[in-house]
Copies of this chain bind each other. A is one copy, B any other.
Amino acid sequence: MTTDLTAPPGAPSEFDRDITVSPDGADHVGTMSDGWRVGGGINGGFQLSLIGNAIRASLPSHPDPIAVSAYYVSPAVAGPVRAVVRPQRVGGRTATVSADLRQGEDVRLTVLATYGDLDAFPTDDVRTTAEPVVLPPRDQCVPNTMAPDEVKAMAPFTQRFAMLFHPDEVGWALGQPSGRGQISAWFRLADDREPDPLSLLMAVDALPPVTFDLGLPGWAPTVELSAHVRAKPAPGWLRLRHRTRNVAGGMFEEDCEVWDSQDRLVAQSRQLALLPQTR
């Protein structure tokens, strides 16, 4: 971790600064920073964190995202953004809303989401057969800071965090994809911003498309992404893994798992995406 990832004491992290929203009538407004751009559009996971923050602001009694399903309607660009949140059902344990992220007249993202208070969920009964993502020590992984300058310019998003790739799963960067359909990495937000349920919504869409590892570079447009936040993450580095098991019909599913520093599976997501058209 280089020192330029650390914010001055007392300053908000760039992530917190950039997901900030303020009320405007019944809506919330904010600004999408170009720093979260990948190619021609703002990263979909970051958009989820931003709209997730607006939903949180609209539901004080249900502060945490539990399930969020996102459909991306048009590419989001840097600039002002408006979040429109419509409650569907506000119950004791959970609340469900629909919400849109808009720029001018255009809807960028529409979501359905269920929120709750993760601190109020039971923590005693854990039965998991899922196995933690195993990564070599961080100093043996391949940091995103090694990306070529043209990648950093095309995707400033990749500079918003430290991402340390499993050395066996980064061959695609050198034109030698493994073909297995798996990419995993250590992950930590810039400014050492600790993970929380909102940042997990971005983390599940932070890795490169798993199709890179199948020798299919290029943009893989998301059809649908659903994220489940299963627990509040402990402070420290996260481990992320993308996997696909079925490339067919010009589409693939991409599963992401997020494990925290206490070896808990804190978030799961699945997206359906279209194969890159660049072949």
Contact = CB atoms under 8 A, between A and B. Distances in A.
Nearest to A268: B253
A121 B251 contact: yes
B246 A67 contact: no
Given A226-B270, A247-B125, A272-B228, A89 B73 contact: yes
Contacts of A127: 181, 214, 247-248
A43 interface: no
A47 B112 CA distance: 17
B270 A270 contact: yes
A278 interface: no
A106 B265 CA distance: 36
Given A67-B272, A96-B73, A270-B226, A245 B129 contact: yes
B249 A268 contact: no
B112 A249 contact: no
Copies of this chain, whole number? 2
Interface string A96-135: 1010000000010011101000100111011111100000
A1 interface: no
Contacts of A172: none
A148 interface: no
Contacts of A118: 249
A164 to B, nearest CB: 24
A18 B125 CA distance: 40
Contact of A223 (B66, B130, B214): B66
B107 A88 contact: yes
Most B C-beta atoms less than 10 A away, residue of A180, A250, A264: A250
Interface of A: 66-67, 69, 71, 73-74, 88-89, 93-94, 96, 98, 107, 110-112, 114, 118, 121-123, 125-130, 180-181, 214, 223-224, 226, 228, 230-231, 245-251, 253, 264-265, 268, 270, 272, 274-275
8 contacts: A71-B112, A110-B112, A121-B249, A121-B250, A126-B247, A228-B272, A248-B265, A270-B270
